Amino acid sequence: MADRGVIIVEVGPRDGLQNEKTPIATTDKLALIGRLAEAGLARIEATAFVSPRWVPQMADHDAVMRGVPQRAGVVYSALVPNEKGAEAALAAGALALAVFTAASESFCRKNTNCSIAESIARFRPVMALAQRAGVPVRGYVSCALDCPYEGEIAPEAVAAVTADLLALGCNEIALSDTLGRGTPARTQAMVEAALLRGPAAMLAGHFHDTSGQAIANVEAAWQLGLRIFDGAVGGTGGCPYAPGAAGNLATERLVAHFEAIGVSTGIDLSALEQAGRWIGTRLRQTAQ
């Protein structure tokens, strides 16, 4: 496998597509995932085993997870909110799981219908299942900078949830700017607070790009030692329960940024750009 100075986690098939109103064919999702694996992405969040009533676009999670093109060195993960999701994801072949909570009580409730503490309690059986299956679990902390309902979030709140997820046994925490309105200075303060609770090697940056600041925020986190960053091909996406949030940081921009500063990503930018154009066209055709 290519030598990588940074790990790029592709969340497009999940975070990028989950907010699309028109159902996207499972075959298109699988074709996208195949193109991403082909381009050299080694970690791909393929789908979400969440309630189809809450996120209809992810209702084909089982078929997607079972259909991903197996390829040496590529790990496909699934987002899960609870034990039911974890059981189904593992049965479908997920080799990594991701749980998600928030640093904001209001967002946690809107997104998963429970408090932060209740969400953590729901993750306990998920961790037990994952441990038995020998798969790692990432923990997302949404609203690490801003909440659509509560406004600015204190870095200490992010640090507290980070500590809870690490204590639970998560191997990686994705500090997530759900709204994409963060600035480098606020990113720095938030990451510094999280670093008091866990090492840089266990922290990842997940930035949406509503204000066009995501690359600057990645840079702020990189300066503090983070080496894992999320992107969604084509800059697609947003969270259905975060009104006002635009797309994710485009993986193409993330890759171009790191390659430009001499950090190897192991990803073929031209193949990735082709995948981005392809899904953009498919989404426009699907929406018609």
- Rg value, the chain, Cα: 17
> Is the CB of 206 or the CB of 266 nearer to ligand HMG?
206
> Is the CB of 16 or the CB of 40 nearer to ligand HMG?
16
Best CA proximity match to 47, nearest among 102, 85, 4, 87? 85
> Is the CB of 82 or the CB of 188 nearer to ligand HMG?
82
Interacting residues with Mg ion between 13 and 42 (CB under 5 A): 15
Question: Following DSSP, what letter does each residue of 49-97 receive, concatenated?
Answer: -S-TTT-GGGTTHHHHHHHS---TT-EEEEE-SSHHHHHHHHHTT-SEE
Closest approach, Cβ 205 to Mg ion, in A, equals: 11
**Is 186 a residue that touches ligand HMG (CB under 6 A)?**
no
Which residue number places its CB atom closest to Mg ion?
15
Measured in Å, how far apart are the chain's first and last C-alpha atoms?
40
Closest approach, Cβ 240 to ligand HMG, in A, equals: 6
Which range binds Mg ion by CB under 5 A, 7-15, 22-30, 96-104, 274-282? 7-15
> Is the CB of 226 or the CB of 239 nearer to ligand HMG?
239
> Is the CB of 53 or the CB of 284 nearer to ligand HMG?
53
Q: Which residues, 6+ apart, have CB-to-CB distance to 132 below 8 Å?
A: none
Interacting residues with ligand HMG between 188 and 207 (CB under 6 A): 206
> Is the CB of 108 or the CB of 266 nearer to ligand HMG?
108
Q: Which residues, 6+ apart, have CB-to-CB distance to 128 below 8 Å?
A: none
Show the site string, 15-34: x = touches ligand HMG by CB under 6 A, - = not. Answer: x--x----------------
CB 75 within 8 A of CB 41: no
Which range binds ligand HMG by CB under 6 A, 68-76, 233-241, 255-263, 273-281? 233-241
Closest approach, Cβ 208 to Mg ion, in A, equals: 6
**Is 241 a residue that touches ligand HMG (CB under 6 A)?**
yes
Q: How far is CA 24 from CA 20, 141, 238, in A?
A: 8, 27, 16
Helix ranges restricted to H, the chain: 26-39, 61-67, 83-91, 105-112, 116-133, 155-168, 184-195, 214-223, 251-260, 269-287
The footprint of Mg ion on this chain (CB under 5 A) covers a number of residues equal to: 1
CB 238 within 8 A of CB 55: no
Helix-helix angle 251-260:214-223, to 10 degrees? 50
Q: Which of residues 54, 93, 189, 246 is near ligand HMG by CB under 6 A?
A: 54
Return the half-sphere exposure (C-beta side, CA atoms, 13 A cut-off) of residue 192: 9
Beta bridge partners of 10: 44, 231
How is residue 188 written in tokens? 């720095």
147 included as an active-site residue: no
Show the site string, 57-96: x = touches ligand HMG by CB under 6 A, - = not. Answer: ------------------------xx-xx-----------
- Give the interface with Mg ion as residue ranges (CB under 5 A): 15
- Give the interface with ligand HMG as residue ranges (CB under 6 A): 15, 18, 48-51, 53-55, 81-82, 84-85, 100, 111-113, 140, 142, 176, 178, 206, 208, 239-241
- What residues act catalytically? 239
